[in-house]
Amino acid sequence: MKKVLLPNGLNVSEIALGAMNFGTTTSKEEAYEVLDLYLDLGGNFIDTSNNYAHWAGTGDESETLLGQWLTDRGCRDRVVLATKVGFDRHGTGAGLQKKQIEYWIDESLRKLKTDYIDLYYAHTDDPDTPMEETMEAFHRLVEKGKVRTLGCSNFDTWRVAEANLLADKQGLTPYTVMQQRLSYLSPKFDVPPKYCYNEVVNRERLRFLQDKNMPLVSYACLCKGAYEDPSLLPEEYEGGKRLTLIRTMAQEKGVNPSALVLAWLVNLHRCAGYPRVIPLFSATPQQLLQNVRGLELALSQEDLDRMMEV
């Protein structure tokens, strides 16, 4: 697996592994198996949150399991660890106030058994807290060495632009990575997102990211397995011509459709107006082995044009 040096200095593998269900619906044994395999395959970019997966447990499970795995394997220095703050746990506590950020970073460090986070995301925007309070609180974490870089997820584009202008003016740390939904299938823009600000990326946002040289970590990019089994298609995506084409082309290339989706995402930056994209997904060990075959495909310009035209 190739590494990508991001503009903020993080050297990450070209795909990221989601740890959302580790310790809840994914058992410890299964989680260790997929984490070990991902590392063996050259992966190093692992994604969790301070609230995963509270809908299936307490919300501490994912970070706690990862902390134990990092300790058991002694591999903290080989991993680029991303976690998040700002969403609720069991319906309460959402927000990006200074006191929340200061509390949750220490909780994440404790659970993850580490003294620094490589990439700390605001998990969702908090328009009720002054932006300056949030950016200052995050900046202090960077100054203290608890956090290396900052990202944002589930934000409107204009809010990211405002936050980074404010950071620039006041000498604070900007957001340098965006985590938002993007897959190969086109979104249905008339279907409202499940929660505020988690819209699928549109072309304007992609141009913004490309212009700002800000990479996109595209979460849930495999649409819950719908490329393999179209009956799983989430309602916010169109199937249509794109689903047919990806399945046809995958067959032609001898890989599974999810592998070709990853190939498309990691190659998108070769197309005019598109930023660097790091696909983020979860998988069983067997699915991971299938999916990484996409990274070995050499997609030609003709392939990319064919995929973009529909």
Q: Which window, 1-9, 132-140, 156-164, 282-290, contacts ligand NAP (CB under 6 A)? A: 282-290
Compute the least distance from the CB of residue 236 to ligand NAP, in Å.
12
CA–CA distance, 63 with 113 (Å, rounded to integer): 9
Measuring CA to CA, which residue among 156, 102, 163 is closest to residue 124? 156
Which residue in 52, 184, 219, 237 is the catalytic one? 52
Q: Is 52 a catalytic residue?
A: yes
**Which residues are CB-neighbours of 113 under 8 A, at least 6 positions away?**
67, 68, 70, 71
Compute the least distance from the CB of residue 215 to ligand NAP, in Å.
14
CA–CA distance, 211 with 77 (Å, rounded to integer): 31
Report the residue number, 20 or 209, with the smaller CB distance to ligand NAP.
20
Report the residue number, 135 or 177, with the smaller CB distance to ligand NAP.
177
50 binds ligand NAP (CB under 6 A): no
- Burial of 189 per CB tally in 10 Å (0-12, 13-18, 19+): exposed
Q: For residue 122, is the peptide bond before it cis, meaning its omega torsion is within 30 degrees of 0?
A: no
CA–CA distance, 17 with 46 (Å, rounded to integer): 5
- Residue 81 DSSP label: E
**Which residues are CB-neighbours of 206 under 8 A, at least 6 positions away?**
182, 216, 273, 274, 275
Site string for ligand NAP, 199-238 (x = CB under 6 A): --------------------xxxxxxx--x----------
Compute the least distance from the CB of residue 19 to ligand NAP, in Å.
6
Compute the least distance from the CB of residue 120 to ligand NAP, in Å.
13
Using CB under 6 A as the binding rule, the residues of this chain from 165 to 184 that contact ligand NAP are: 179
The site for ligand NAP (CB under 6 A) is made up of 18-20, 47, 153-154, 179, 198, 219-225, 228, 256, 258, 280-283, 287, 290-291
| Residues noted as catalytic | 52
